Amino acid sequence: MTVRRRDSRVVVIGGGTGTSVVGKGLRGRVERVSCVVSMFDNGGSTGILRDELGVAALGDLRQCLASLSPEPIHAELMQFRFKAGTLAGHSFGNLLLAALVQVTGDVTAAVQAAAGLLAIGDEVLPVTTDDAHLTAVLSGGGRIVGEIAIWERALPAGQFDLLLEPVPALNPSVARAVHEADLVVLAPGSLYTSLVPNLLVPGLAGALRATTAPKVMVVNLLNKKGHTDGFSASDHLGEVERFAGAGTIDHLLVNEATVPPQVLQRHGHAGDQVTIEAFGQNSPPRIIAGDFLDRNLTVIEDGLVQRTAIRHDPHSVAEAVLSLLA
């Protein structure tokens, strides 16, 4: 039975930035968008609130809530970051969610309450509600503990593993959303610190393999220095399926537009552009190639530091992935 776009339920899995971009493009085009969000960030405002208040990692949840809000002023408010005083570096959305967690006693209830305040008809789901940290185990010995520490360190290609400590439980609402999905999208973002951590939560990879819904991976525009230098789209797929299982992904969405060199220079963590080399046109998974580059450069604030962000265009990505539905 074919599913019409308007009646479809789409699950988007990743970290905050890439998932929010894809969610923004899908908002209003389908019956329900379910953004499944990694919960292992320990840096910036999120890390401070996690350490001082004992709340879950809130920053990626905030970004997805902002992107799904139908009111621009609500999105702007959730992303507003204080620049002075004792609140410097904190975003309003993080503080709101931290307060709601303490009022409700539960991060899932807090996110649902925030969605109600923002008049969001879709849903944002933490991949787990358990407290856990991302750890890289190096084959030559040694461990790197914490998402930020891993982000800042070079990883020896093919010589490390990733795990979550302690092992968290999958949010039952995530399992339900994947089971009900008509389409699953793996969002772009840092491969080892945004996307793969979701796949490490026991039960999610199995749920992805079990669903009959098409599964499409939106491949990053750029590689990350020290992590994925020189990776092609097939290399990204190989790493995802190292953790999710071979054959999990049905389609790869790959950008063919060239990122201007002067733009690359303004993107602090950017490496080379991801290519689609090593794929034949008829090789599985199916390649969806096109111009998916957002020409409107975004300046984002990480704490008090501003940096230029190179993003996928949310609307062209949404149109491409929805082409997989009737």
What is the torsion angle, in degrees rounded to the nearest 10, for the CA atoms of residue 158, residue 164, residue 170 and residue 175?
-10
At 89 the pLDDT is: 86
pLDDT tens-place string over residues 140-168:
889 999 999 999 999 988 899 999 999 99
Could you state, in order of their start, the residue ranges of all structural domains in the chain? Answer: 5-322
| Residue 312 near residue 21, CB atoms below 8 Å | yes
How many residues are there in the chain? 326
Average model confidence (pLDDT) across the chain:
90
Q: Which of the given ranges, 133-142, 199-208, 301-310, has the highest pLDDT on average?
A: 199-208
pLDDT tens-place string over residues 41-69:
887 777 788 778 878 889 999 999 999 99
pTM of model > 0.85: yes
Side by side, which strands form the sheet with 133-138? 143-145, 133-138, 160-165
Q: Which helix (H) or strand (E) holds 137?
A: strand 133-138
CA distance 238 to 247: 10
Residue 304 has pLDDT above 80, yes or no: no
At 308 the pLDDT is: 54
Pairing mode, strands 215-218 and 183-186? parallel
CA geometry: angle 197, 41, 45, nearest 5 deg: 165
At 263 the pLDDT is: 72
Please state the φ and ψ torsions of residue 133, each to the nearest 5 degrees.
-125, 145
SS3 of residue 294 by DSSP? coil
CA distance 13 to 38: 8
Has domain 5-322 been given CATH number 3.40.50.10680?
yes
pLDDT tens-place string over residues 65-115:
999 999 999 999 999 999 889 888 889 999 999 999 999 999 999 999 999
Residue 271 has pLDDT above 70, yes or no: yes
At 6 the pLDDT is: 80
C-alpha distances in Å from residue 32, one per residue of 18, 139, 223 = 18, 42, 31
At 285 the pLDDT is: 80
